[in-house]
Structure 1
Amino acid sequence: MPLDDRRSIGFLISDVARMMRAAFDRRVQRIGLTRSQWLVLSLLYRRPGVSQSELAEMLEVERPTAGRMIDRLERKNWVVRRPDAADRRVKRLFLTPEAEDVQAEMGRIAETLLEDAMASLAPGERLALTDMLGRVKGSLTAMAPA
């Protein structure tokens, strides 16, 4: 495959991801979410009870930055900090029931967005695209350092 074709595929994947994030941002704006907030809520939904340090690592931000994000979400009553049972210096993060409702709405928005974005693809094409991207992701995962 010529180098230009590989660059084109990489550009398309990057551009589609960027456009999906921007479209999602526009759709969740009505419920008062910023991109960083929806990322935090999504991570805490998938990993309830992570520490602030672990969250910062997952978000690839500094701990003080993660702390400020959590402060804002706490003020919205979407996140609570609880002391770790084994180490009181560590705070564990959990979604509140209000945030779980927001997370459910985010899920509905994401599902609709994906349906809208893939509307021009036949069901078989959707499955093929998902399979191919999964294999590319697997190759990249295998290349990552341990």
Structure 2
Amino acid sequence: MIRFSQPKALAAAAGTRLGVSAYREVPQCDIDTFGELTGDRQWIHHDPERAADGPFGATVAHGMLSLSLVVPLLFSLFVVDGAALVLHKGLDRVRFWVPVPAGARLRLVADLVSVSIRPRGYVEATIAVALELADGPVACSARIRLLYREEERCTLATAS
């Protein structure tokens, strides 16, 4: 795991790989739970018998379920000390390349693309992420934008 001493320290690492996460399984029970929470009960996600004869040969994870795994996998790769707040500013260039079958294992590859120092103690990081299946292909890719707020530092005034 990479540790940054403060949000501004990210700037020195722009253009480098943040790392590759451990694999995480996507079991059918997670797919079912995600479908219940979102109301997406499409048969390609929840009906193994019908999905076996469908276009993917098995049930597959919702694209948005796969995408939601980016954040916990990303934060397993690095930590930024001295941040009072981290906001997810958005996602750019999201692409779903191949389906994620139930039971598949995914890992995240993350590259710190750019870092911008913003007014009022904010630092914006753009990170290219790719969710890779254990057998090689990229299932999903995107650029995630994170906005860090530096902790305010108090200085003690000394009496003269």
User: Normalized against structure 1, the TM-score is what?
Assistant: 0.26
Please identify which structure carries the higher strand content: 2
**Structure whose CA Rg is larger:** 2
**Higher RCO (CA < 8 A, seq sep 6+):** 2
Please identify which structure carries the higher helix content: 1
User: Normalized against structure 2, the TM-score is what?
Assistant: 0.24
